[in-house]
Amino acid sequence: MSEIKENEIVITKDDGSEETFKILFFYTNPERKKDFYFIYKDENPDELIVLCSEDGKELMECTEEEFEEANEMLETYENDPKIQEAKK
């Protein structure tokens, strides 16, 4: 189970413990009917994790094909001049 709060996501594990991650960004793929989240821990911002969700609550690992697609979106996010200007 997960809970999104502003730019953070709190993931509750099966044992009841919680982990908080920052959300770099997310996008919706209407064809797949899933949201894709790029998250990281404060102590290691260079290590991105990509997870997806069909309902906005349960996060799951992406398939290899979804992961490749997500990497393309990340490249666009990092290299698009319009996005870079908006982040300032």
pLDDT tens digits for range 44-62: 988 999 999 998 778 889 9
The pLDDT of residue 78 is 80
Q: Are 47 and 41 in contact (CB under 8 A)?
A: yes
d(Cα 11, Cα 21) in Å, to the nearest integer?
8
The pLDDT of residue 35 is 93
- Length of the chain as a residue count: 88
pLDDT tens digits for range 16-48: 899 999 998 889 999 999 999 999 999 998 899
Where is pLDDT greater, at 62 or 78?
62
